[in-house]
């Protein structure tokens, strides 16, 4: 490997990078961000914005860092007077036709034109104010995309995404000179299942999400690393919450999973995180069939009591949207009994993103089906329902639509109680309120066996607690394990006790996740 490394100096910092690396990427390694617009690591190089001009010693003129490969002994100055003057020139030119409507622009606060203008732009334009700026009306490009041509700086990221990544070239640059704008095919809409990425790719506020339109200012948003719950692909995402309400999901780069992208299905899949009709306290069933709200001590005691006296068979019906930790602990509660566990998933259409290998909106619309399978839950849901008829204990983990009432006791850990009076969980002996994905920490295992962490974006409602905490407490009350105070402790217990997760630690999962050992059996140690 070492002989394939190229040594160069960027702004006085020596750096070694693999052969073929672009100067702009090598600069990132030294902590230098060369300002740029058209360059994006997930797209083919265009070299058109001319913003990333840098000085390279011995080169006759300034070079664009995004299209220049590193060479041995190269000396790069990204902030020389010449390079800065060139970039200042580009910024001035970009602002000629860019409206200064930042106060009403959704991009403000996360706009690269704003950022770089503040960083190295000219304090005032020399473009005489008597000139009118280019004007074109706002266009409706697709189900969730608006195009504001006045703000467009023609970096062509959106055009290249649709052409080279989505393989559906419905966008182009129309007209030429300063009249140019991004055009959509007259007979097409920007309705590819992955089209929403053009909004993220747009460095300015030219392509906007209708869903997020005027919903929040960028600086009001709390950003939390998470995993998309839309399907079993496990795209890494960021949840943007404003005042503890999730208002937007955007992709978070992970080259091993989703590159820089996420699909529109996942992008729209956040409203459930904010629903208000949540269970807020533990509920114990009264003889007359009603539920009484209790505190956690009483609720946990009651649950432990049900399990302590139980014998015979048990059934666990779990949601493949719950954390690996909760799935494991639910199983751990029942291992002394003759238990069976199952889950069901919603299926949909598969929608691949052709330009990125092994990336698609998967037919299986659940983030943790693989985790459930690795932990011994099966997909034969009908069999599990049949087993309910003679089960002494049924444990339902956030699967509220169970219709068959069990023969024995029913413990329900859930986020909501369905309105439908026929739902079995409405008759549960005990209902324990748990948090949803946005309100807790935990892990999911994606379809390729990658264990990935998600973080807490907002507080849970009322007394709701993460399912792994609730289950851990019940186990502790039964004397079958320590109190679990954090998701890390819960996960590390999974890694200790389940063969396939052995060797993983919560902290080492990091932001990118780790793949569980391939071909390892799913064993439960005695």
Partner 1 sequence: MGFPHKPHARETVVLSQYFGDSDARGYKGWVKRGGYQALERARALPAAGVVEEVKNSGLRGRGGAGFPTGLKWSFMPKDKKKPHYLCVNADESEPGTFKDREIMRWTPHALIEGTLIAMYAIQAEVAYIYIRGEFTEPLAIMKDALVEAEAAGVLGKLKIHLHRGAGAYICGEETALMNSLEGKRGNPRIKPPFPAAVGVFGMPTTINNVETLAAVPPIMKRGAAWYKAMSLSNPKSTGTKLFSVCGHVRQPGNYEVTMGFPLKDLVHELSGGMRPGRTLKGCIPGGSSVPILNREETESCLLDYEGCVEKGTMLGSGGVIVFDDSADMVYEIMRLARFYAHESCAQCTQCREGTAWTMKILERILAGQGKLEDLDLLLDLSENMTGKTICVLSDSCAAPVVSGIKKFRGEFEDYISGKRRPVMVA
Kind and range of the H or E run holding 496: helix 487-497
Kind and range of the H or E run holding 306: helix 296-308
Among 31, 73, 119, 127, binds partner 1 (CB under 8 A): 127
Among 5, 45, 363, 423, binds partner 1 (CB under 8 A): 45
Shortest CB 125 distance to partner 1, Å: 10
Among 33, 96, 382, 403, binds partner 1 (CB under 8 A): 96
Contact between 283 and 431 under an 8 Å Cβ cutoff? The reply is yes
Q: How many helices (H) and strands (E) does the chain have?
A: 13, 25
- DSSP output for 247-262: EEEEE--BTTTTBT--
177 vs 357, beta carbon nearer partner 1? 177
46 vs 487, beta carbon nearer partner 1? 46
> Phi and psi dihedrals of 8, rounded to 5?
-145, 170
Chain centre to alpha carbon of residue 247: 13
> Phi and psi dihedrals of 485, rounded to 5?
-90, -25
Kind and range of the H or E run holding 200: helix 197-201
Cα dihedral: 23, 29, 33, 38 (round 10) = 50
d(CA 128, CA 134): 14
Is residue 190 close enough to count as binding partner 1 by CB under 8 A? no
Number of residues that bind partner 1 (CB under 8 A): 35
| Token pair of 199 as six digits | 């909004």
Is residue 173 close enough to count as binding partner 1 by CB under 8 A? yes
| Subset of 50-69 contacting partner 1 (CB under 8 A) | 50-51, 53, 61-62, 64, 67
96 vs 522, beta carbon nearer partner 1? 96
Shortest CB 521 distance to partner 1, Å: 49
Shortest CB 236 distance to partner 1, Å: 31
First to last CA, the chain: 45
Site string for partner 1, 387-416 (x = CB under 8 A): ------------------------------
Is residue 126 close enough to count as binding partner 1 by CB under 8 A? yes
Contact between 304 and 478 under an 8 Å Cβ cutoff? The reply is yes
Contact between 426 and 418 under an 8 Å Cβ cutoff? The reply is yes
Binding window for partner 1 (CB under 8 A); candidates: 17-25, 152-160, 245-253, 457-465? 152-160
Among 97, 269, 322, 514, binds partner 1 (CB under 8 A): 97
Shortest CB 257 distance to partner 1, Å: 31
**Which stretches of the chain bind partner 1, using CB under 8 A?**
45-51, 53, 61-62, 64, 67, 86, 89-90, 93-94, 96-97, 126-128, 130-131, 153-154, 156, 172-173, 175-180
């Amino acid at each position: 490997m070492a002989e394939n490394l190229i040594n160069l100096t960027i702004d006085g910092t020596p750096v070694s990078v693999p052969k073929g690396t672009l100067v702009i990427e090598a600069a990132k390694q030294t902590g230098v961000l060369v300002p740029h617009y058209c360059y994006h690591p997930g797209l083919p190089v265009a070299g058109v914005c001319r913003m990333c001009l840098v000085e390279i010693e011995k080169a006759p003129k300034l070079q664009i860092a995004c299209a220049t490969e590193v060479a041995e002994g190269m000396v790069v100055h990204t902030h020389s007077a010449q390079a800065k003057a060139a970039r200042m020139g580009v910024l001035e030119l970009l602002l000629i036709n860019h409206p200064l409507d930042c106060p009403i622009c959704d991009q403000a606060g996360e706009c690269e034109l704003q950022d770089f203008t503040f960083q190295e732009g000219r304090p005032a334009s020399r473009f005489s104010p008597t000139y009118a700026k280019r004007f074109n009306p706002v266009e409706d490009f697709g189900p969730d995309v608006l195009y504001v041509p006045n703000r467009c700086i023609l970096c062509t990221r959106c055009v290249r995404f649709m052409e080279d990544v989505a393989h559906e070239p419905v966008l182009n640059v129309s007209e030429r000179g300063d009249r140019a704008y991004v055009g959509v095919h007259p007979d097409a809409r920007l309705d590819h299942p992955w089209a929403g990425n053009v909004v993220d790719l747009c460095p300015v506020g030219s392509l906007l999400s209708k869903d997020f339109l005027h919903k929040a200012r960028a600086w009001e948003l709390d950003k939390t690393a998470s995993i998309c719950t839309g399907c079993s692909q496990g795209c890494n995402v960021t949840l943007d919450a404003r005042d503890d309400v999730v208002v937007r999901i955007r992709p978070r780069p992970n080259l091993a999973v989703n590159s820089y992208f996420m699909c529109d299905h996942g992008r729209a899949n956040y409203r459930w995180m904010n629903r208000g009709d949540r269970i807020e306290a533990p509920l114990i069933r009264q003889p007359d069939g009603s539920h009484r709200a209790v505190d956690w001590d009483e609720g946990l005691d009651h649950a432990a009591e049900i399990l302590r006296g139980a014998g015979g068979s048990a059934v666990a019906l779990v949601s493949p949207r719950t954390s690996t930790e909760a799935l494991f602990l639910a199983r751990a509660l029942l291992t002394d009994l003759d238990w069976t566990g199952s889950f069901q998933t919603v299926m949909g259409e598969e929608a691949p993103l052709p330009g990125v290998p092994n990336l698609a909106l998967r037919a299986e619309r659940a983030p943790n089906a693989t985790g459930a399978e690795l932990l011994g839950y099966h997909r034969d849901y009908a069999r599990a329902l049949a087993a309910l008829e003679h089960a002494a204990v049924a444990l339902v983990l956030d699967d509220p639509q169970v219709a068959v009432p069990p023969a024995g006791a029913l413990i329900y850990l859930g986020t909501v109680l369905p309105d439908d009076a026929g739902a079995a969980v409405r008759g549960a002996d005990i209902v324990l309120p748990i948090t949803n994905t946005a309100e807790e920490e935990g892990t999911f295992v994606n379809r390729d066996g990658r264990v990935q962490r998600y973080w807490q974006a907002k507080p849970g409602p009322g007394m709701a607690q993460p399912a792994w905490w609730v289950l851990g407490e019940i186990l502790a009350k039964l004397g079958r394990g320590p109190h679990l105070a954090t998701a890390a402790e819960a996960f590390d217990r999974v890694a200790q006790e389940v063969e396939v997760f052995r060797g993983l630690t919560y902290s080492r999962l990091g932001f990118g996740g780790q793949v569980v050992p391939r071909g390892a059996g799913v064993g439960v140690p005695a």
